[in-house]
Amino acid sequence: MTTTIQLKAIKAKKLQVDQIRLELLNELRKQGTEHKERLRQTVRTWKGDRPTFKTAISLRGGDAVAATYPEGSDLAVMKWVWLEAGTRIRWALMGQGWKSKTRPGRFASGAGRGRVVLFGKRGFNRHGLKARPGIKARKWTEKVRKERERAFARELERAVVRGADKAYPK
């Protein structure tokens, strides 16, 4: 008795990365919108120059990135950056009863009150004043990252699955 073994090669379909890539890019745009909405809260009550937020997305080298940053006039962006990162010293003298619109660790921008009496190093030197203690860092971007980290990863994984389902329908 002879046993016959028959082997048949099964060719895998070519990986269709375009569908997966498209789903990932769409999800990154959606995540960027979430980040912008969160950061807009920081400038909601600002008067005068205030930044807007933009998100740059990228799929490169195995990384999926949605980087959100402030844009607008130089002064608007600098004010936001000073609050975000904090400063070592401050060349501004605030009037009596000053209350900042923002606080470290909080997104909400409140009413605030008071006015800036003197601003800039030249004005301080002319009046014989010394630099004031710096601005405490608000660390909004770190807070957004911590809040959104799990949801971001979960939604990107779902985007890969959606892309694979579209690329290889059952």
More confident residue, 124 or 155: 155
Q: How many residues are present in the chain?
A: 170
Q: State pLDDT tens for residues 13-49.
A: 777 788 889 999 999 999 999 999 999 999 999 888 9
The DSSP string of 20-85 is HHHHHHHHHHHHHHHHHHHHHGGGTT--SS--EEEEEEEEETTEEEEEEEEESSHHHHHHHHHHHH
pLDDT for 1 equals 64
Q: Is the pLDDT of residue 57 over 70?
A: yes
| Domain boundaries, given as residue ranges, for the chain | 17-167
State percent of the chain over pLDDT 90.
52
Q: Is the pLDDT of residue 4 over 90?
A: no
More confident residue, 132 or 6: 132
pTM above 0.95, yes or no: no
- Average pLDDT of the segment spanning 93-114: 84
Sequence-distant (6+) residues with CB within 8 A of 100 are 112
Cα 52 to Cα 36: distance, rounded to the nearest angstrom: 9
Cα 39 to Cα 108: distance, rounded to the nearest angstrom: 9
pLDDT for 109 equals 84
Whose CA is closest to 155, among 19, 27, 21, 15?
A: 27
Q: Is the pLDDT of residue 84 over 80?
A: yes
Q: Is the pLDDT of residue 62 over 80?
A: yes
pLDDT for 55 equals 96
Cα 78 to Cα 76: distance, rounded to the nearest angstrom: 6
